[in-house]
Structure 1
Amino acid sequence: MDDTAKTRQIAIAYVESLDQRDWSRLAGLLAEDVVYEMPQTRERIRGRPAFLRFNVDYPGDWHLRVRQTVADGRLAALWLDVRVGADGQDACVWLEVGEQGRISRITDYWPEPYDPPPGREHLVERW
């Protein structure tokens, strides 16, 4: 399997793991030093443990569904349908897969800027 096919497979597994709350599977997809960024809130999370904790603690009954995935080499872009209860919105996620075959960088883009909810200050740095 070439890099593009592997990256596509990893990207889809990433979204499935989040949606299913399969934290051990998600951990296996992430590099130890993964960097997660949300430009709308200007938040950055560094490292697998902090990123996992961020998702485990994330409030609400949220669900993710892949609408489209585009991969090229070690890069992937996903267009997601995000649901929290009955409310839905689109999101775009950019992933970079490192040489070890694990996700090294994640950037989430949401349609509107917003202030981050309280309670995760210990996990993020703001820029």
Structure 2
Amino acid sequence: MDAKEVVRAFWTAMASNDFVAASQHLSPDFEGIWPQSGEVITGRANFAAINTAYPASGLWRFTLKRIIADGVEVVTDVDVTDGTVRATAVTFHSVAGGLIRRQVEYWPDPFPAPPWRADWVSIQP
């Protein structure tokens, strides 16, 4: 599999909500970096554990909106929801040896558009 296919398979596995199975797409020395909180997830087991323990109202659904690949570097834009919480994950994946070695993942929070820009923009639903 090329890097893009590896990452696509990872998101498909995440959609199963079996995070141990999803972690098998990660290298044993995986690093997951969440820059906004300063957290680093090290290893498959910690990845599976944090995702399994994450509070949720229901099963997580992942919608892959965009995937861009350049060699072993892949970027994804994914909608994530448990039916109550809705979020976006923008993830930079580095793939080596058919496994994801590193992810740098951003979870941007939505915010209201400032009124001063109203003359130049439209608002998406």
TM-score of the aligned structures, taking structure 1 as reference length = 0.76
Following superposition, the deviation at residue 110 of structure 1 comes to 1.0
Does 1:22 find its partner at 2:18?
yes
Give the counterpart of 1:85 among 83, 86, 90: 83
Q: CA deviation at 1:52?
A: 1.2
Q: Which residue of 2 aligns with 1:104?
A: 101
Gaps of 5+ in 1: 113-127
| Aligned partner of residue 59 in structure 1, secondary structure | coil
Match of 2:39 in 1: 43
Query: Structure 2, unaligned stretches of length 5 or more?
Result: 110-125
Distance 1:89 1:55, change over 3 A: closer
Give percent identity, aligned residues only.
Answer: 28
Structure with greater contact order relative to length (CA < 8 Å, sep ≥ 6): 1
- After TM superposition, the runs of 4+ consecutive aligned structure 1 residues lying more than 6 A away are none
2:122 maps to: none
1:63 is matched with which residue: 61, 64, 68? 61
Q: Is contact 2:20-2:48 (8 Å) kept?
A: no
Q: How many equivalent residue pairs?
A: 108
In the TM superposition, what whole-angstrom CA distance separates every residue of 1:49-80 from its partner, at most 9, and x where no partner exists? 11111112112033211001001110100001
